[in-house]
Chain A
Amino acid sequence: MNETLTILLESMVIGALIGFGASAGVARMFHAPKVQGMGAFRTLGELNACENDPVAHFSFGFGFFFNAWASAVGTGALTSDVDHRIVPHWAAALSMTRNRNLAETLHNPRRMAFFGAGVGLVLVSVLNTTAASIPHSLQKVAAEVLGPASEWLINPVMPIVFWMAAVDAGRRTGGWGSALGGLAHVVMGNAVPGIVLGIVVGKALDDLGRTRVTRVLVGAVVALFAVSALLRGVDIQLLQQMKVDVPHWLSRFHDATGTTPTD
């Protein structure tokens, strides 16, 4: 089968699936915490910011459509904005063109899911198939401008934003966030997951104290860090950088499991 046709057909299936799931999850966010939602806090804030206006929803998504397009063209990554911003906002815009009642449109998972599936189907097909037809000079600009910018966003900007939020949320949250954040950068290569866990643990200890729930939470976090460190061979790197001889059994274990340090 022709390659472009294959990409088109697969993109249609993928787009319908992500549009369906993401939009239903986004509509459920408005019923949180009673109902488990799925999306992001910033998506919730941005949807509310458009204040029930289809044009605002559409143009908000449109700005990020070009972002996603440029990125798809330059690097093949559609960006996280497809699920977070474009699909929810366009599905919202479509679902409220005739009916402005929020409870029946944006907050209704069924309506959002079907509009979202339609938006996703078209959007992902367009993003994946038109990428090849963009001039080379544009691809180069997209890669050279968006590449470094999003790399900086992931490290160090996002860690700093989350870190400051943790530090400002009280001494216990700041302490856990800082400790786990630093460790997470060593172990996983990015501090954000550690800071998020630090905020959850710190706030849980603030509100609940030492209960079974918080003990299990801390245990799970410690286990995650230990396993991740082992899988990336961080223990060997640590010993080497401290100029300590790596015990023979340890290096044999890492060789046997294929978890020697990679970078």
Chain B
Amino acid sequence: MAHAESGATPGAATAASGAQRTPATTPDGAKAPGEGSFWLSEWAFPLFVATLAAGIFTGTHLYYVYRTGTFSDVAVTALLKGGMENGSYGAAAAFGAGFLFARVIEGPMVGILDIGGSLQTGVGIGIPAMLLAGGVTAPLEHFWLALPTGAAVGFAIGCVILLIRRATVNSSQNTSTFGADVMMGAGNSAGRYLGPLVIIAAATASIPVGLGSTLGALLFYWWKKPLTGGAILGAMLFGLFFPLTGK
């Protein structure tokens, strides 16, 4: 993942120069395909958020019924699981709602909505937790109810973002990027920490698994691949031959 960070700069440059090169209202038939069409239009955005949110919310329905399928990371899913087991959804709801709110404020201002915080954590964990805390279980139990619920929530989020965008970024006197560059740097480097963390966790679990994880990470690094994949594969492979004994 080392190359990810170096890639951030061209990304920022492309995005920034793209904004200067073309005026806000591009007529049809400009150089890039889809420019000015439905796919790049403002009001298509809520529809894309709606499809993604419908999928993520229904994924949580799948998890609620069959224990597989959330689009969140293990630790975040564990918050919801904790609620499903002991009935107190406060932690999952506050965690999810906090992320949802922060990302909905950040999204329109920096031009990119972070789907990890807003949709995966917010719509996938936070909103189900709030529904369950309020005793509303139907949208999570039934597939055909989960789809429209997720889509409606996503559509609403998309519209809120467009409204905030009109009021801030697209207003005439705006000169701020609201910290997009800072967020970009932090977002890029956060993912890089997972590889070493996996090796530490593997070495804590057992010695063979730890050695396997280290070896896998080394090989992947040597092949110029992200460390994380090698660390996980190495741990899994050694865990297959030397199963973890334990509690």
Contacts and interface: CB of A to CB of B under 8 A. Distances in A.
Chains A and B bind each other? yes
Interface of A: 3, 6-7, 10-11, 13-18, 20-22, 24-25, 27-42, 44-50, 59-60, 62-64, 66-67, 70-72, 74-80, 82-84, 103-104, 107-110, 113, 120, 124, 128, 131, 135, 137-138, 140-155, 157-158, 161-162, 164-166, 169, 173, 184, 187-190, 192-194, 196-197, 199-200, 202-204, 206-208, 211, 213, 217, 220-221, 224, 228, 231-233, 258-259, 261-263
Interface in B97-130: 97-99, 101-103, 105-117, 119-120
B52 A44 contact: no
Given A83-B52, A208-B175, A41 B226 contact: no
A141 B239 contact: yes
B27 interface: no
Interface in B65-109: 66-78, 88, 90-91, 93-95, 97-99, 101-103, 105-109
B29 to A, nearest CB: 14
Contacts of B3: 49
B11 A263 contact: no
Interface string B134-166: 000000000100010000001000000110010
A37 B111 contact: yes
13 contacts: A32-B111, A37-B111, A48-B8, A137-B243, A152-B197, A173-B179, A192-B102, A200-B179, A203-B179, A204-B178, A207-B177, A232-B91, A262-B88
Contacts of A188: 94-95, 97-98
Given A46-B7, A166-B182, A38 B48 contact: yes
A154 B209 CA distance: 23
B71 A78 contact: yes
Contacts of A59: 225
B111 A149 contact: no
Contacts of B67: 76
Contact of A137 (B72, B226, B239): B239
B198 interface: yes
B4 A42 contact: yes
B: interface residue count bin = 35 or more
B11 A45 contact: yes
Interface in B36-87: 37, 39-40, 42, 44-45, 48-56, 58-59, 61-63, 66-78
Interface string B191-227: 1011001101110110001000100000010000110
B69 A196 contact: no
Given A151-B75, A262-B91, A40 B32 contact: no
A231 B101 CA distance: 15
A98 B134 CA distance: 51
Chain B facing A: main interface SS: helix
A153 B197 contact: yes
Contacts of B42: 35-36
A146 B201 contact: yes
Contact of A32 (B112, B188, B198): B112
B52 A17 contact: yes
A144 B179 contact: no
Contacts of A173: 179, 182
A127 to B, nearest CB: 8
A31 B72 CA distance: 27
A149 B197 contact: yes
Given A33-B15, A145-B198, A231 B94 contact: yes
Smallest CB-CB A-B distances: 6 pairs: A21-B52, A63-B229, A49-B7, A141-B239, A33-B111, A207-B176
A220 B105 contact: yes
Contacts of A153: 73, 75, 190, 193-194, 197
Nearest to A169: B182
Contact of B95 (A25, A151, A189, A203): A189
Give the interface centre of A71, A103, A151, A199 by most chain B CB atoms within 10 Å. A199
Contacts of A78: 59, 68-71
Contacts of A83: 52, 56, 71, 115-116, 119-120
Given A141-B209, A199-B179, 16 more contacts: A17-B55, A18-B55, A40-B115, A45-B7, A48-B10, A63-B220, A67-B232, A80-B73, A141-B205, A149-B197, A151-B74, A165-B189, A203-B177, A208-B174, A228-B98, A262-B90
